[in-house]
Amino acid sequence: MELRQKLILASGSPRRVDLLKQAGIEPARLMPMDLDETPKKSEHPRSLARRLSADKARAAHQQVRKDLTWGDSYILAADTVVAVGRRILPKAELMQEASSALHLLSGRSHWVFTGVCLIAPDGKLRQKIVETKVRFKRLSGYDIECYLASGEWRGKAGAYAIQGIAGSFVQKIVGSYTNVVGLPLFETLQMLQGEGYDVHTGWTEG
């Protein structure tokens, strides 16, 4: 891989790593950015996804921009926000948070917004917000109880992972499936290609 082909993923999410690998892209380095993800007062879910993805990309860029080894890397960051209307559902860490979120999502539609931000080796910043509409079936109390026992909800926006058990809750999805997992592949690869990154490099290796 050429020097300018190095990609830093400003995230520690195994789901985003797996999605990139699915598309034949292997990040050269993972740089999770520990930022305050608390929404600002009256902040729209779309605006939150945009702000956090840009903040993560800029923070990673600031750390490596003068580094001889990593300074000319592509930096990719993303942030996924789940919302019912304007109500943002945070990443669930406690069982009660997850239970409340699942009761709210039961039998209704919600939106998943992912902000994707790319900083190219020349310092140019590009950003895209992708949204997907997801409708859950009506969940019984037993559905929720068993899902909580699975532990899959922990650390997930909206308290669920669509690629796991919760995929069986989804009645309808309008938009990008990979967006709901955590990284919209079509839009991400379009951005990388637009800045000169050869997304096909890894397709023929191995």
- The answer to whether 79 is a known catalytic residue is yes
- Give the type of residue at 204: T
- Domains of the chain by residue range: 5-193
In 56-105, beta strands by DSSP E: 74-84, 87-89
Q: State the pLDDT at residue 205.
A: 57
How does the average pLDDT of the chain come out, rounded? 94
Question: Which whole-number Å values give the CA distances from 51 to 28, 46, 74, 180, in the listed order?
Answer: 25, 9, 19, 18
What is the spatial distance between Cα 152 and Cα 79, in angstroms, rounded to a whole number? 19
Q: Give the pLDDT mean for 135-157.
A: 96
Answering whether pTM is above 0.85, one says yes
User: Above 60 in pLDDT, residue 4?
Assistant: no
User: Above 80 in pLDDT, residue 3?
Assistant: no
Q: State the pLDDT at residue 92.
A: 93
Phi, psi of 16 (to 5 degrees): -70, -40
Q: What is the DSSP letter of 5?
A: G
User: Above 50 in pLDDT, residue 162?
Assistant: yes
Set 79, 122, 143, 198: catalytic member: 79
CATH of domain 5-193: 3.90.950.10
Q: How far apart are the first and last CA of the chain?
A: 13
Higher pLDDT, 56 or 1: 56
Q: At what angle do helices 14-22 and 185-194 cross, to 10 degrees?
A: 70
Q: Evaluate whether 134 touches 110 at the Cβ level (below 8 Å).
A: yes
Element holding 147 (H helix, E strand): helix 141-150
Could you report the per-residue pLDDT of 22-79, keeping only the tens digit for each? 999 999 999 999 899 899 999 999 999 999 999 999 999 999 988 889 989 999 999 9
Pull the structure tokens for residue 107: 């039998």
